[in-house]
Amino acid sequence: MTAAIPDVVGPLQIEAEVVSRRRVGAYHHLTLVARGIAEQVLPGQFVALAVGGPDSSMLLRRAFSVYRARPSGAHGGTVEIVFAEAGRGTRWLAGVEAGDLVDTVGPLGRPFRVPETPGAAVLVGGGYGIAPMFALADSIAAAGGRAHFVLGAGSADRLFGVVEARRRGGTVVVTTDDGSAGTRGLVTDVLPDLLMSTGATAVYACGPMGMLAAANRVAVNTGASCQVLVEESMACGIGVCMTCVLPIIGDDGVTRMTRTCTDGPVFDGSAVRFTDVGTVPADTFGAPIVHAGGS
Amino acid sequence: MSTRIAGLRLPNPVMTASGCAAAGRELGQFIDVAGLAAVVTKSIFLSARAGRPTPRMAETPSGMLNSIGLQGPGIESFIEKDLAWLVEKGARPIVSIAGDSTGEYIELARRLRATGVVAALEVNISCPNVENRGLVFACDPDSAARVIAGVRRETVPGVPVLAKLTADVTDIVAVARVCVDAGADGLSLINTLLGLTIDATTLRPTLAGVTGGLSGPAIRPVALRCVYQVHAAIPDVPIVGIGGVRTGADALEFVAAGASAVQVGTAVFGDPHAPTRILNELIAELASRGVSKLTDLIGIAH
C-alpha cells in the first residue's frame, strides 16, 4: 500500500534516492526519486541538494534547476538535474550511484510565466543552462505556442540536449565559441535572425550572466519580451541567508537587493540591472547615503 | 526541557540564531516556529539597509564566511510585517537590534517596547559586517556599556536584554562583566569571527566586502571556550550559547559549558529542519543519560 501523497503546496525536504547518475558530455545527469517534489515542480523552479553526507564539512546546499520532473513512473515521482563538476560539492555529487540518498529540498523559486496564448518563443541556453528549457517548451506547446531553441557553449562537448531540442520540432540553432559545433560565435549572434525568421515575440534564457544580459538586449531591440533564469550562488535556497541577491527593479520602479531564490530565479530581463551586478547601486532601497567629499 | 533566561521562561532551550532564520516565515514552511524556544530575528536597524554587494558568501571547511552587511527593511516594516507574523504564529520573538550609534539602539528599544510583544531583546553589538569596524561596540567596553544601559532603561522590566558579544577581543570575560554591570540580563555568546578567504582563480578576496563573519562548526570550540570562561567568571548570569551547533550532542556541550539555551545558525542553511531536529536529539541525549531536567546539566563541565 502506498500512502497518499499529501496535497502540499510548498517546498519539502526529503531523502531522495538516486535512480541513476550518468555522464553526458562534460556534464552529469542525475535522476532522483522525489515524491511530493516531482508532483509540484513547475518549469524554471529548482531543487537544493545537501552534499557530502550527514557529517559533511560542506554545510551549504547546492541549487540546481530542474531539468525534468515526472510525477509518476516506475519509481514514483522523479526529478532530474544536469550539473557540471565545478567544485568539491559537485565532485561529491558526481560520485553518487543508484541507491544512494541525497537530502533534497524543493521545489523552490518562482517558475517561468507562460502567457495564455504564447505564440512563438525562442529558448536560449548556455551549456547545461538549457536544461530547464525543455519543460518550459512543453508548457509553451501545451498552451498552443511553438518553442525554438538556441543552444550555445564554449565547445561541442559542453553542449547539452541538442538532440532533445531537435525532437521538439521547432528550429534549433547551435553555436560554439570555438566552432567545434554549429555556428562559431555567441548565442546572441544568431538570436536576432531567429527571432525574425520565426516571428517569435518572447525570449527565455538561462546561462551565464553576460549571456543573459546580451539576450535581454537583443530582445529589447526587437521588441520581444524576455525572461531570464539566473543561477546565483546561494547558501540555503529557501530565503533565509540573503547571499543570492541581485539589484532588481520592482513593479514600483524601486531597485532592491532581491533574493534570487524566493523572488527568482526567473525575472523579467528588464527588471535585472545587469551592468550593476556585483554592486549596490546608489539608488537601491536602503543603499548607504554617500556624503559629498566623504570617503 | 524547560529553561529560563533571567525572567523569561522557555519550554525548551533551542532557538534560531540571528541572521540565519530571517524573521521565521521561510522556516515556517518546514518547521513549527512556535515549538522553538524562540525565533531570534535578523538584526534590525532603524532604517532600511541594502547590505553589501555580492559575492556575500564563501563556504569554508565546516564553516561559512558571510558579508551580508545587515540587509533589512528597517524597524517600521519589521514591526508591521515580520513581528506581527511571528506573534500570529504563536512564536516567541527575540528581536536582535543593531545600530550605528548608541542613540539608534535606544530608539529601537523604545519602538519595540511600544509593541508589547517582544519576549527579549538581543543587542547585537558585535557584528563584524558594519561599514566602520571601529563601530563594533563590543570591542570597546565603554561603548558597550552605554548601549546596554540605554537599551535596558528603555525596555520593560521582565523583558530580558541580552548582549551579543564577539570572541574577537582580548578578554571576553571583561566585556561580559561590563555588559552585566550595565544591566544586561544575559549574554549571547558568540557572534561570527572575522575571517577572509582568497579566490584561487583571481587571487583576490572572495567576498566583495573583503572580510566576513565566520560561522558554523569550525568556530564551535571558540564559542565553547567563551561560554566556559564567562560562566566560570560570572556563573549567575544566563548564557545563550551560539556557534556551530549542528546536533543535539553539540547543544549538550554548550549546556555543559554553562549555556542555559542555544541558538542554531548556519546549520539551518544546510537543513531547514535543523532547530527541531536538534531539539529532538537533545531530548534523546538527556534521556539516554537518565537526566530529566535540562537545568541540572547547565555548567556541569565545571
Taking a C-beta distance cutoff of 8 angstroms, is the pair B240, B10 a contact?
A: no
Q: Over the stretch B69-96, which tens digit does the pLDDT of each residue have? A: 999 999 999 999 999 999 999 999 999 9
Q: What is the pLDDT of residue B240?
A: 98
CB-based contact, A61 to chain B, within 8 Å: yes
pLDDT value at A4 more than 70: no
Q: Report ipTM (2 d.p.).
A: 0.93
**Residue B221 vs residues B99, B121, B216, B224, B228: alpha-carbon distances, Å:** 29, 26, 11, 5, 10
CATH class as words, domain A111-229? alpha beta
DSSP three-state, residue B38 = strand
Q: Over the stretch A164-173, which tens digit does the pLDDT of each residue have? A: 999 988 999 9
Q: What is the pLDDT of residue B129?
A: 61
Of A48, A55, A45, A59, residue with least CA distance to A16: A48
Q: Over the stretch A6-31, which tens digit does the pLDDT of each residue have? A: 455 789 999 999 999 999 999 999 99
* pTM for this model (two decimals): 0.94
Q: In what order do the strands lie in the sheet with A27-33?
A: A62-65, A46-49, A101-108, A12-24, A27-33, A78-83, A68-70
Record: contact B27-A240, CB cut-off 8 A: yes
pLDDT band for position B122 (cuts 50, 70, 90): very high
Q: Is the dihedral of CA B27, B30, B32, B35 positive or negative?
A: negative
Sequence-separated contacts (24+) of B106-111 with Cβ below 8 Å: B106/B150, B106/B151, B106/B153, B106/B154, B107/B46, B108/B44, B108/B45, B108/B46, B108/B75, B108/B151, B109/B150, B109/B151, B109/B154, B109/B155, B110/B154, B111/B46, B111/B75, B111/B76, B111/B79
Record: contact A236-B53, CB cut-off 8 A: no
Residues in chain B whose beta carbon is closer than 8 A to a beta carbon of chain A?
A: 20-22, 26-27, 29-30, 42, 47-57, 59, 61-64, 66, 68, 71-74, 131, 208, 216-217, 266-273
Give B21 to chain A, closest Cα distance, Å: 5
pLDDT value at B222 more than 70: yes
Catalytic residue (choose from B20, B127, B179, B226): B127
Q: What is the mean pLDDT of residues B40-49?
A: 96
Distance of CA A28 to the CA centre of its chain: 16
Q: Where are the domains of chain A?
A: 12-108, 111-229, 234-285
Percentage, residues of chain A above pLDDT 90: 88
Q: Over the stretch A30-41, which tens digit does the pLDDT of each residue have? A: 999 999 999 999
Measured N-to-C along each axis, helices B248-257 and B274-288 cross at an angle, to the nearest 10 degrees, of 70
Between A72 and B262, name the one with better pLDDT.
Answer: B262
Record: contact A286-B47, CB cut-off 8 A: yes
Q: What is the pLDDT of residue B126?
A: 85
Average pLDDT, chain A: 92
Record: contact B53-A278, CB cut-off 8 A: yes
Q: What is the pLDDT of residue A2?
A: 41
How far is Cα A77 from Cα A31, in angstroms, rounded to an integer? 10
pLDDT value at A208 more than 70: yes
Answer yes or no: B127 catalytic.
yes
Q: What is the mean pLDDT of residues A108-125?
A: 94
> Could you confirm whether domain A12-108 is CATH 2.40.30.10?
yes
Rg (CA), chain B: 18
Q: Over the stretch A275-294, which tens digit does the pLDDT of each residue have? A: 999 999 999 999 987 654 43
Q: Which chain B residues are Cβ-neighbours of A242 within 8 angstroms?
A: 22, 42, 51, 56, 68, 71
Q: What is the pLDDT of residue A294?
A: 37
